[in-house]
Structure 1
């Protein structure tokens, strides 16, 4: 078994729809599930043991909750454009996520 990465972190790097960038040029730090837990931003990742993370939740009423978190505000999206603008059209979107950790190449 490979050595675990003790400081794995997650980043949303881009959002695309129909090959067009809807958001990018920045990195949004995402939370591991449970997003309100003390270890939400950094987890130990072990080979063949799944870990789950938060990217985006959408309610049946169209409310959006990003996988980004701030101690003062809870779930929030401090980037431009705003989430309703990014996801203004129905359809399929590609959300690119990078996983990074000690002694592990980013994928």
Structure 2
């Protein structure tokens, strides 16, 4: 690697160099990741498997499950609540009025 004096560069040149260096690092890392993935796929194939067979069907983040609504506001049926997390205001108001939570169950 050749040495050069950064103190001779002005601010715009330093910013440009910084941006170009960041891009070069990202592309280098992407190439290395692709090489590692190709090597892993080749190793799995040589053993008679696909990479998905070995690591599972999805490579990435698992999908977040959505809880179906369990309670519905009879005054406004668009308002629902799964029974998890913070209680919506309409539930709080109903409980304060001594109404049982079971009155709001969906599909009772």
Q: Is this a same-fold pair by TM over 0.5?
A: no
The structure whose residues are more often strand, as a share, is 1
Structure whose alpha-carbon radius of gyration is higher:
2
Identify the structure with bigger relative contact order (alpha carbons < 8 Å, sequence gap 6+).
1
The structure whose residues are more often helix, as a share, is 2
In the superposition, the TM-score normalised over structure 1's length comes to: 0.22
